[in-house]
Amino acid sequence: MYNVIHEADTKEVNIMAQINLRIDDEIKRKAEKACEAMGMNLTTAITIYMVKLGNEMRIPFEVSADPFCDEDHMKTLEKRAADAKAGRKMHEHELIG
């Protein structure tokens, strides 16, 4: 859906696109709360994001996987949890003792 806005002073025509998306209610609520604290609404925040994305041709923040949750680390944690549950290999770390 597009809304056409005519600006009489500059003779420019801005075509405004409407974007519809689905997002978890809790994520939206937190984002709205953060925006309110910064004195803006969610539309303004999303517009800022999209302007930076378009101008810089990149996502304007770092996107990465959490190294804590990589496959090898998770296998190690699962093995240690199983050992602890079975009462095996339990000892205090030198920094704790």
Q: What is the pLDDT of residue 63?
A: 81
At residue 76, φ and ψ (nearest 5 deg) are -60, -45
Cα–Cα distances (Å) from 26 to 43, 44, 47, 79, in that order, read: 17, 19, 21, 33
Amino acid at 63: V
Residues ≥6 apart with Cβ < 8 Å to 89? 80, 83
Beta bridge partners of 13: 6
Does residue 36 belong to any structural domain of this protein?
yes
Say how many domains are in the chain.
1
- Owning domain of residue 64: 22-86
Does residue 13 belong to any structural domain of this protein?
no
List average pLDDT for each run of 10 residues in the chain, which is 97 residues long.
56 84 96 95 96 95 79 86 83 66
Q: What is the pLDDT of residue 37?
A: 95
Q: What is the pLDDT of residue 6?
A: 53
Does residue 14 belong to any structural domain of this protein?
no
